[in-house]
Amino acid sequence: MILVTGGAGFIGANFVLDWVARCNESVVNLDKLTYAGNLESLSILKGNPQHIFVQGDIGDRLLIERLLVEHQPRAVINFAAESHVDRSIHGPGEFIQTNIVGTFNLLEAVRVYWSDLPDTDKSAFRYLHVSTDEVYGSLGKEDPAFTENHRYEPNSPYSASKAASDHLVRAWHHTYGLPVVTTNCSNNYGPHHFPEKLIPLMIVNALAGKSLPVYGDGMQIRDWLYVKDHCSAIRRVLEVGRLGEVYNVGGWNEKPNIEIVKTVCALLDELRPKADGSSYATQISYVSDRPGHDRRYAIDARKLERELNWKPAETFETGIRKTVQWYLQNPEWVQNVQTGAYREWLSKNYAERQA
């Protein structure tokens, strides 16, 4: 049995789906079901006794303690987080509460549970903390990619809150001996991605005939990681990662945002051409940049490959094609996540920006 937190979100849901498909081990899936948590992503597991869903908050220590005692998991994997930079700029309070206070409460509940385990179970137990490359700050165009030893320099409320959570996890290992491992990943993309992030937003807006808003000059560079590759890396780290270590997970796919948008448009031109024959790229619109927008992220994932023999299976070309095809094949999922609250958010974040 493992306990997964945030398992109805984008990365967490993909992890749970892959875990159940690949392993005989059961999953207790705790998720608060905020706007980005979507049980529809897990609909294929409905009625499957291997998947136990519990709605709740990682900040609810009593709930966490009860689940640990009741289910006796051998590992806890924490995906639960507020994760959207733009939302953190408009409302940082929720990010502080979930990413910092929530992580603290989860760590404390796990520490007490782990301390009481028999010696054999205690030595086998793992706490895996899923984090982001954004804690390292921004890179110049010619700077070497982030390694695990790069100094923390978070630049947004989101990345600052995740950096704080990383430090808490490190401290609970060094102070209390809690058997932790941490992963810091680059930008994920793939199925079940909530359409406030770049790639799904471009797909959804393009198909709806709306503008494709690109921040600033569109030359912000990111390393792109297919979500199922990320899930395989987490399984590998959970299996053989060294205690107290940090592993960077990247896709070796550095690309500027505008290239990503144009690639999505080209795939849609091929897979769902417009009736008038025009390209979706004509819908691209440049809007004012967001405050403190980091210029470049890049992950050096050689430690993960060298120590744990892991590397991504997908290239960007294969992964982005699979992603666009998934959105074209799942219009009901897309429609159901576009609630009134989501539309209000898009209006607040993009409509107010000057083109």
Catalytic residue among 31, 57, 86, 133: 133
Cβ atoms of 157 and 89 closer than 8 Å: yes
Catalytic residue among 57, 134, 229, 314: 134
| 3-state SS class at 201 | helix
Catalytic residue among 113, 127, 136, 158: 158
Token representation of residue 161: 């809150």
What is the distance between the alpha carbons of residues 212 and 228, in angstroms, rounded to a whole number? 26
DSSP per position, 299-336? B--HHHHHHH----S--HHHHHHHHHHHHHH-HHHHHH
Burial degree of 219 (CB within 10 A; 0-12, 13-18, 19+): middle
| CA 330 from centre of chain | 20
| 3-state SS class at 203 | helix
What is the distance between the alpha carbons of residues 106 and 64, in angstroms, rounded to a whole number? 7
What is the distance between the alpha carbons of residues 39 and 328, in angstroms, rounded to a whole number? 20
Contacts of 352 (CB under 8 A, 6+ apart): none
In the annotation, is 133 catalytic? yes
Q: Give the residue numbers annotated as catalytic, written as ranges.
A: 133-134, 158
